[in-house]
């Protein structure tokens, strides 16, 4: 279980594509606000492990490569805590 | 742009894991309600093309293999139309 407050500090690099409140008008990118915490962590790990390709997967991999497991848990907690 | 009503008919196989209203208490699975339509279609195509692995990707691939491009567009429209 992550720390949403710590996740907020890490989320500065996420907002360009996913929006300051986890919702974004770019229809090809997913909204994150209120998404299930465990799924968010799973998806970030999947990008990091190279389990996703196509679309923006390489971009996501580049961002996620710099994150620790704790960072991932915290980011997941942060976005899961937002109002969808 | 898909037809949400047609998507609803195809969604009978999605509800076990993603919930009748696109929200699910299984934390490892993503909520779909109100997600961006183009992202939903992208994700379904990614599973179909084998661009995702790990987690439930093989399950998703098995389901999506039976869907046409039109089915995918309609399902994306259906879940995007739901209240998040």
Q: What contacts A40, CB < 8 A, 6 or more positions away?
A: A32, A75, A76, A79, A80
Q: Which CATH superfamily is domain A4-80 in?
A: Cytochrome c-like domain (1.10.760.10)
CA distance A12 to A78: 12
B1-18: pLDDT as tens digits: 899 999 999 998 898 889
CA distance A40 to A26: 19
A19-61: pLDDT as tens digits: 889 998 778 899 999 999 999 999 999 999 999 999 999 999 9
Q: Beta partners for A52?
A: B52
Residue A51: list chain B partners with CB under 8 A: 52-55, 57
- List A residues 6-25 in contact with B (Cβ-Cβ < 8 A): 24
Give the residue extent of every domain in chain A: 4-80
Q: What contacts B7, CB < 8 A, 6 or more positions away?
A: B71, B73, B74, B75, B76, B77, B78, B79
ipTM of this complex prediction, to 2 decimal places: 0.78
């Amino acid at each position: 279980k992550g720390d949403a407050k710590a996740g907020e500090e890490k989320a500065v690099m996420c907002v360009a594509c996913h929006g300051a409140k986890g919702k974004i008008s770019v229809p090809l990118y997913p909204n994150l606000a209120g998404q299930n915490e465990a799924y968010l962590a799973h998806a970030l790990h999947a990008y990091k492990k190279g389990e996703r390709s196509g679309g923006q997967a390489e971009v996501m991999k580049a961002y996620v490569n710099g994150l620790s497991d704790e960072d991932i848990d915290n980011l997941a907690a942060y976005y899961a805590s937002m109002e969808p």
